[in-house]
Every structure is written in C-alpha cells, then in structure tokens.
Chain A
Amino acid sequence: MENRKAGKRMRLLKTYAPLYLLTIPGLLYLLINNYLPMLGLVIAFKDVNFSKGILGSDWIGFKNFEYLFKTSDAYVITRNTILYNSAFIVLNLIVAVGVAILLNEIRSKLMARFYQSVVLLPYLISMVIVSYLGYAVLSMDTGFLNKTVLPLFGMDEIAWYNEPKYWPYILTFIHTWKGAGFLCVVYLAAIIGIDQEYYEAATLDGASKRQQIRSITLPLIAPVITMMTLLAIGRIFYSDFGLFYQVPMDSGSLFNATNVIDTYVYRGLMQLGDIGMSSAAGMYQSLVGFVLVLLSNYVVRKFNRENALF
C-alpha cells in the first residue's frame, strides 16, 4: 500500500519534472528581486550611519515612522491618497468595462481596432508629457483655457495652478483618460473569450442587447473584474507619482488637493536624504497594502468563493 502511493507520487513527479524545472528561473527571480531586498527593511528601524555600516547602525525603534503621522499633513495626505485611489478604482472600472463592451459591439474590424488604439494611446504617453499638455491648457500666460475659451464666455482668467478646488476633478479626469485604456483592453480580451453560443441562445430566446450584457457579459467577466480590482486595492496606498507631482507642476498652493503619501515623502526627504525615513514610508505603504488585499479578498470570498484570488 505504502509502496504504491510512493510509486504514484514518483510517477507524477517524473511527468511534471520538466515543468518544475521551468519554474526555477521565475522562482529565482522572485527570490532575488522580491525577497532578498526585504532584508533591507531593517533600515526603517535604524539611524543609518555609513561609517558604522547598515547593520552596525543604532536601532531607533519607530522614530523613523513618526514624521508620517505627527503633523497636520498626515491626515491630508492619507485622506488624499485613499480618496483619490478609491475614486480611480471605481471610475476606471466603470469606464473601462463600459468602453470594452461598446468596443465589442463594433462589427467593423478596422474601426474596432482604430478605436481600441485611440483609447489605449494615452496610456503610453509619459506623465511628464501629459503634464505639459495640461500646462498648455491651464497656464496663466499662454494657456488655451485662459486665453481662448474663458474670454469667449466673457469670464476672467483663472489661476488654475493656485486654486486647489479644481484639482480633484482635473486629476481624476486625467487619470481616467490615461489609465482606462489599458484596463479596457484587458476586459475586452475577457469579453472576446466568451463563447458566442451563449449570445446566440439568448438571441433565440428574444433577449435584448441590454439583457445580454447584464446576464451574460458581466457575470462571465466578473472573475477578471474582481482580480483587477483586488490588485488595484493592494496598491491603494501607492499613488501615481507622476500624476500627483508632475501634472500639478509641483505647485505649492495646490498641496491640500494634490499632496499624497509618495509626494509628501519625496518632498520632505529631498533635503534630508535620510534613507531610514524613506524606507519607513515604503514599509508603511506596503504593510497597509498587504492588509487591504487580504481583507478585500476575504470579503470577496464571503460572497463568492470562485472569484477570490486565493
């Protein structure tokens, strides 16, 4: 009995051995690039002094973390980071799935490809260039809005880069414009993978387009939606640095609306150059992200075991 079991296991291993071998480079990559650097987390608890070496430096407990929580800005940056990213996740989801469904309904192959490329294009533009596109529209001296559009309506110039109240909308718009294209392609791929027979059967039963979308398309791409959303939630504490730093042109007057954890850390430590404090910020972000992924996955599993990531 024992022997038979062992023999079976061996046979299985023999069959899959080449596959295991194939995973080695990937595992090594993970080990070297993702796990070994984690040893660096000790830096977050040290007062780094290079003449003593990193391991020889003094332990200082949680002192490196203090600046993240101590000031009145701590509330603003955490609020901004979470609210913006939540809004981005929801909007990206709605826009991307919507556009993907629409794209799927275009029957002309050529036009479908054309629209797909147009939607994807902003995703490929560097944030620095996006920031200058924004500047061309919003600048005081030469901006399109201030020099061309607002005078048409007889309105006064607006100092866009000094008025925080407009920026939540500007940033959200830019992020959706730039990011939705990529997600859209992912969802489109999932939709195309749906078996056409479902739709044929539904059409025979007299289902309208809207009913087909609600009862066939959406449920069948739900696993992809959950996965993409869970991944996005895991990064909710990281923000798109380019978007929040470059696009508002680093304008101080806008900080209340544009400062997020990443930009705060960057600005605060540019002068100090303290690697202990920056690792503390990185560690804080990844821990919260980790906890959030576990939590949201747990919630998903409560509702639908199938759709959960793990």
Chain B
Amino acid sequence: MNASKKWLALLLIVCLSVLAACSSNNSSSGGSSASSPSAGSQPSSGESGEAYELNVAFPIFGAVPSNMPEVEKAISDIAKEKIGATVKLTPISIGAWSQQSNLMLTSNEKVDLIYVSGTSFTGMVSKGQLLALDDLLGEHGPDIVATFDPEFLKATAINGKTYAVPSNKEMAVDYGLSILKRYIDKYKIDPTSIKTLDDLDGLFKTIKDGESDLPAILVPQSAGISFLASHRWFDPLGDSIGVLPDFGGGLTVANLYESSEYAAFVKKMREWYQAGYIMKDSATNKDNGNALILAGKGIARLSNLKPGYERQTSLEYQEPATVISLTQAYATTSSVASVNWGIPYSAKNPEKSMRFLNLMYGDTEIINLFDWGIEGKDYVKKSENIIAYPEGVDATTVAYNLNLGWMFGNQLKSYIFEGEDPDLWKKMAEYNANAVRSPALGFSFDASPVKTEYAAVTNVINQYALPLETGSVDPDKILPEFIAKLKSSGIEKIIAEKQKQLDEWKRQNG
C-alpha cells in the first residue's frame, strides 16, 4: 500500500467518523422523541424509584433573583411530597424568550411545562408543539377546573381541544387614561365628567393651554404600540385582521380598517397630533411609556385598565396618578388567554406536568413561593393574606423580586401587599364575572391555511397602522391607500377564512 492511499484513507476515516457522530446524535434524539408518547401513557414508570424532575420554563423581565435556588428548592420539596416530582425552574430573559423557547421545543429539549403567550398560542398548536390537555385536566387538574368559569377555560381550546391553561388574573380589560394627578388637581378637573375619548379634548386643551413648556401630553404605551391598542371598541379576534365590530352578539367578521369608527379614531389622533397633544416621535418611539413620563416627555398614557391599576401606575410614575376609564370591561379570547401554561409535545411525563400545574392553581404555598419567595426572608405576614417586606428590606434589596404574580397560575390566591387594596382579589373576581363577554369568547383563529396572505397583510399593517394610529400622517391621504393595499394583499381571503372558522366554532359550541 502506498503512502498516498494511506493519507486518503486517513482523511476518509476522519470525515466518516464526524459524519457518524452527527448521525448517531440524530438517531438518538429521534429515538427519544418517538418513545415519549409511550412514556406518557405508562404513568406507573414515574411513580417508583427516583422522583421525576419537572423542567418549568418561563420568561422573566429582569435579572434572575439571587434567591431563586432557595425558592426552587422550597417548591420542589412541596411538589415531592404532594405529587412525587421535583421541580427545576428555567427562567429565560424576555428578550431571548421567543427564540430560546422555540429552540427548546424544536430540538426536543426536556421541558415539562412551558409559558405560552397569547400571541404565539395558535401558532404553536398548528405546529404541533403542544399536547391536548382535556383528559389530563379531567383526571389530574381538579383545582384548575374549579378555578375557572368554564367559558374562560374554553378560550384556550382549538377545534374543541384544550391546549393550554390560562393564568387566573384579570380576564377582561377596560380602556382609559392614566394621567399624573397633580395636573388634574391643578386645573380642578372632575375625572368623573370624562366618559368618552371625545371628552378628553377639553382636558387636553386646558392642560396644553396652561402648560406652555410641556412638550406633549400623551405618550405611547411602549415601543411599536399604537394608541389603538389601548382603546378598543371591537373584539380583535386575536390579531385585528378581521374583527367583530361590537360586542352586541353578532358573529360577522369585518375589516376593522374600513370601518367608519376606525376612520374617526385615526382622524381624532391626527387632530391631537397636530394640536401638539401627542408626542411627535410616537411612531418611532423605542421607550417604555413610564420611562417617557418619568423623562418629562408627556404626562399621560392611554392604558389597558384593571382593578388596582391606579396604585400600580402610581408606583410606575413615582407620584400619584389618576385613572379614568373610558370603556366597559370586555372579555375576549385575547384578554382571557393572554398568559397561559402548556405542556410541550415532547414532555416525558405529561401526567406529572399536569399535577404540578394543578398545584399552581390550588396550592397557596406554591403560588406564593412563585409570587413572593420565602416567608420571613423575602416577605413577612402582617395578617391572614396581607404581607410586607421584612425589616431592613425594600423593593430594591429584596432577594426575590420577580413580581410575576400574573404569570404563575392562580393570582387570586396570592398574598396582597401592604398598601394595596385588601379586597383586590374580591374586586378582581367581580370584575371578571361582570365583564361584557364577546360572543366569540373562546374562538382562536388558525392562520396556517392562509399564511401567504397573512404574511403579506401583516407587512401592510406594519407599514401603515402605527403612523396612522399615532396621528403621524394625514389619514385623508394615507387611509385610502392603506385600505387599497390591504385588499390587494388578500385581507378579504383571511377574513373569509376567519368567518369560516368562526362559523364552524359556533356550530361546535352551540
């Protein structure tokens, strides 16, 4: 054998071994994914031997709290005792969440329970990433079922199957204005006299005339969000591409952007913009609304309201705020199913996942561990369900400061912080019960049959909606262009598909 052949052989061997390593990896992961459903159908395997470890993935909006490991251990201990499983918490920064969670699901990484945002929910279901939960809920989720009005639990069903469980928090939303209270006091405005969007004209004019130094009054809620997102009179049916124009009971899907109400709204925004009420850079703004108000760019936001909002927003503005509600409270699929928990398709032991999820709705201890941390260290009890920071600790120094009560299951069983309305959860329950319910509550649209048009229409909306809805451009000129372009991109096909799915949903749900 000559040397050249030897070298060639060596090269081949190296290449082949690399290839083999790659393919063997593939086959092993393929094998485990294939075996996962069978592992789920044999629950007995999880009971015996070592406790099964549940991986719970969720986004966080700041740094990982220093006390997280201790909280994780405390939750784990309770779960081990009650359902025979330990718990591993996987917090992921919100900026990386959509990418990283998607990667975890596509690569079959071990995740047993995952946060599902309302916007990604239907996409995840149509891609087959979530397990149907109906049987599991019936068998292992009694506390979850008991927590919800059945109508609310239906909000996360697609084709009659439930794919996620919403967090129990505010289930509806009303829209209004949150404004620095000192201006209301200074100009002796009676907030109860303001009932509609048009009533704000007088308020804004008074303040603008009195405060010549003020750059603007109204700032956007956050980057890329228009004022329409905080003032709705329609059910967006998820994405505002084809909406229910009112809550009267009709189930006819209509094009929002063609409606006279929409035209009136963008005209009003243009008026405000030209009068100097709206921050001029609203359409290109990259900041959070609270930061803008703290920086003195404006004094008010149109806001999505709920019980207890006045205190929340006063904390954010770092001074007293006044909240004026301009609409009724509406419950739609999006408001109910905005924050949910799902079990990924690749979960090895769905039964355990469901039993732990059940604890997040029924077990006060677990809920408060998630929400507030360790008693005595991160908070102290003042009375039955009122808590405060321990001595020497405040909001900036507390070792566990996630403040994500709205995410972890049943917020209505969470302790209430001192200074907050002690009856907050009672009011919340009433608010949820009394909200005007959309006739399409529970309907979720699956865009996959029309995804070509959907991508095109999304682009058109990205182009026109924000400038129009912040008053940055002239609606007389731009709105007709917008409507024409929506049509040429196929919005009517999407609306027809939505109507078809809605009729089908209606038929199934009587």
User: Taking beta carbons and an 8 Å cutoff, which residues of A are in contact with B?
Assistant: 6, 9-10, 13-14, 17, 20-21, 24, 28, 31-32, 36, 47-53, 63, 66-67, 70-73, 135, 139-141, 159, 161-162, 249-253, 255, 259, 264, 267-275, 277
Contact = CB atoms under 8 A, between A and B. Distances in A.
A253 B127 contact: no
A309 B312 CA distance: 64
B216 to A, nearest CB: 8
B462 A267 contact: yes
Interface stretch (B7-15, B61-69, B168-176, B497-505): B7-15
Given A249-B286, A271-B458, 9 more contacts: A21-B7, A28-B18, A49-B126, A66-B452, A161-B281, A161-B472, A162-B283, A250-B224, A274-B448
Contact of A141 (B106, B215, B345): B215
B248 interface: no
B15 A31 contact: yes
Given A17-B7, A31-B18, A140-B280, A53 B459 contact: no
B30 interface: yes
A52 B128 contact: yes
Interface string B458-481: 111011111100001100001000
B22 A36 contact: yes
B128 A13 contact: no
A51 B130 CA distance: 9
A72 to B, nearest CB: 5
Given A14-B3, A50-B105, A72-B489, A267 B128 contact: no
A53 B30 contact: yes
A252 B485 contact: no
Contacts, number: 142
Contact of A273 (B102, B224, B286): B102
Given A13-B4, A141-B297, A251-B283, A272 B127 contact: no
Contact of A268 (B3, B458, B485): B458
Contacts of B18: 28, 31-32
A49 B124 CA distance: 9
Nearest to A52: B128
Nearest to B455: A268
B128 A50 contact: yes
B120 interface: yes
A13 B22 CA distance: 30
A249 B282 CA distance: 11
B133 interface: no
A268 B456 contact: yes
B123 interface: yes
Interface string B20-57: 00100000001001000000000000000000000000
B447 interface: yes
A204 B313 CA distance: 81
B211 interface: no
Contact of A67 (B105, B224, B456): B456
Contacts of B318: none
Contacts of A17: 3, 7
B459 A267 contact: yes
B444 interface: no
B452 A72 contact: no
A103 B478 CA distance: 49
A165 to B, nearest CB: 14
Q: Is the interface of A mostly helix, strand, loop or mixed?
A: helix
A268 B30 CA distance: 31
A34 B129 CA distance: 28
A162 B472 contact: yes
B284 interface: yes
Interface centre among B7, B102, B215, B452 (most CB of A within 10 A): B452
13 contacts: A10-B2, A13-B7, A20-B11, A50-B105, A50-B127, A63-B452, A139-B281, A161-B284, A162-B467, A252-B463, A259-B463, A264-B459, A267-B462
Contacts of B345: 50-51
B14 A24 contact: yes
Interface residues of B, number: 58
Contact of B465 (A21, A252, A275): A252
B123 A273 contact: yes
B118 to A, nearest CB: 12
A267 B464 CA distance: 13
A70 to B, nearest CB: 6
A63 B449 CA distance: 11
A20 B452 CA distance: 49
A269 B458 CA distance: 8
Interface in B437-457: 447-448, 451-456
A270 B458 CA distance: 9
Interface centre among B105, B224, B284, B463 (most CB of A within 10 A): B284
B123 A272 contact: yes
Contacts of B3: 10, 13-14, 17
Contacts of B215: 141
B239 interface: yes
Contact of A249 (B126, B284, B454, B488): B284
B252 interface: no
Contacts of A67: 451-453, 455-456
Interface in B104-128: 105-106, 119-120, 123, 126-128
A190 to B, nearest CB: 35
B480 to A, nearest CB: 15
A277 B458 CA distance: 14
Contact of B454 (A13, A31, A52, A272): A272
A250 B462 CA distance: 9
A28 B14 CA distance: 9
Nearest to A32: B18
Contacts of A249: 284, 286
A211 to B, nearest CB: 51
Contacts of B466: 251-252
A264 B447 CA distance: 18
Nearest 4 pairs of A and B residues by beta carbon: A51-B128, A268-B455, A140-B280, A249-B284
A253 B467 contact: yes
A251 to B, nearest CB: 5
A161 B126 CA distance: 37
Contacts of B137: none
Interface centre among B15, B106, B281 (most CB of A within 10 A): B281
Contacts of B105: 50
Contacts of A255: 462-463
Contacts of B177: none
A49 B105 CA distance: 12
A85 B132 CA distance: 48
A274 B129 CA distance: 13
Given A135-B284, A253-B467, A268 B4 contact: no
Contacts of A141: 215-216, 279-281, 297
A309 B70 CA distance: 61
B451 A161 contact: no
A71 B15 CA distance: 45
A35 to B, nearest CB: 11
A9 B279 contact: no
Given A267-B462, A268-B459, A9 B283 contact: no
A173 B215 CA distance: 31
A145 B239 CA distance: 38
Interface in B80-109: 98, 102, 105-106
